Amino acid sequence: MRSNPDELLGAERVDHGREPMDRVASFREYLREHADELAALQVLHGSGSRRPTYAQLRELAERVARVPAIGPLDRLWHAYAELGEVTEPSHRAGVVDLVTILRHELAKDHGAAADRIDPFASVIEARLEAWLAAQQARGVEYSEPERWWVRRICDVVKSSLVVELEDLDRTPFTERGGTFGFVRDFGDADRARAVLDELNQELTA
């Protein structure tokens, strides 16, 4: 007997509206089940730093990507977007965006009213502007060369979470002399290091 190509042999109803909810729920369950295994997850339970390292976040991203019910970070971000929990639905999420996702989950875990999730870079940019405004209010003005360094440090923090002193001898900082240029433009080593430490603290606190 020849089968009709249009014959319906079987079908399973897929509720696509539940997929984002299920993906986020699976991620939340993963956080609960593996909180003691990954250092980055300790931010959710108060037993570790609230500023995990890039390596810790990358490990978490790689592990959740291997869970079929969760998948890569861009899919997880899209799922949050479908639930109305992100500010920029079209953003393509990367490793550093786990910082804002985890803080969002931390607020929910503690019963707080969680804000929508911003891309990590947007948070860093807003904090830089707030920091510069606070500096100006205190009468601290930065020269054009100093502002160049501040902006470049901010750009690197957006993708790497922190800028160490040795990072200043890498791109893009080598454009203006690396560590030597940083100290030169800020006048002395103590002031330069103080600015770097304060930016690392204020931008990612």
Q: How much is the pLDDT for 52?
A: 82
User: Is residue 89 scored above 60 in pLDDT?
Assistant: yes
89 three-state secondary structure: coil
Q: How much is the pLDDT for 2?
A: 46
For 33-88, write each residue's pLDDT tens digit.
988 887 777 766 655 556 788 998 999 999 999 999 999 999 999 999 999 999 99
Q: How much is the pLDDT for 108?
A: 77
Both tokens assigned to 14 = 């897929």
User: Is residue 170 scored above 50 in pLDDT?
Assistant: yes
Q: How much is the pLDDT for 119?
A: 97
Question: Is omega for the bond preceding 145 within 30 degrees of 0, making it cis?
Answer: no
Who contacts 27 (Cβ-Cβ below 8 Å, separation ≥6)? 64, 70, 76
- Asked if 169 and 180 touch (Cβ cutoff 8 Å), the reply is no
DSSP annotation of 91? -
Quote the pTM value: 0.85
Amino acid (one-letter) located at 25: A
- Asked if 142 and 150 touch (Cβ cutoff 8 Å), the reply is yes
Q: How much is the pLDDT for 106?
A: 84
Share of the chain above pLDDT 90, in %: 74
Q: How much is the pLDDT for 9?
A: 33
Q: How much is the pLDDT for 191?
A: 96
Q: What is the mean pLDDT of the chain?
A: 87
d(C-alpha 81, C-alpha 107), whole Å = 18
* Phi-psi category of residue 112: left, alpha or beta, with phi > 0 → left and psi -120 to 50 → alpha: beta
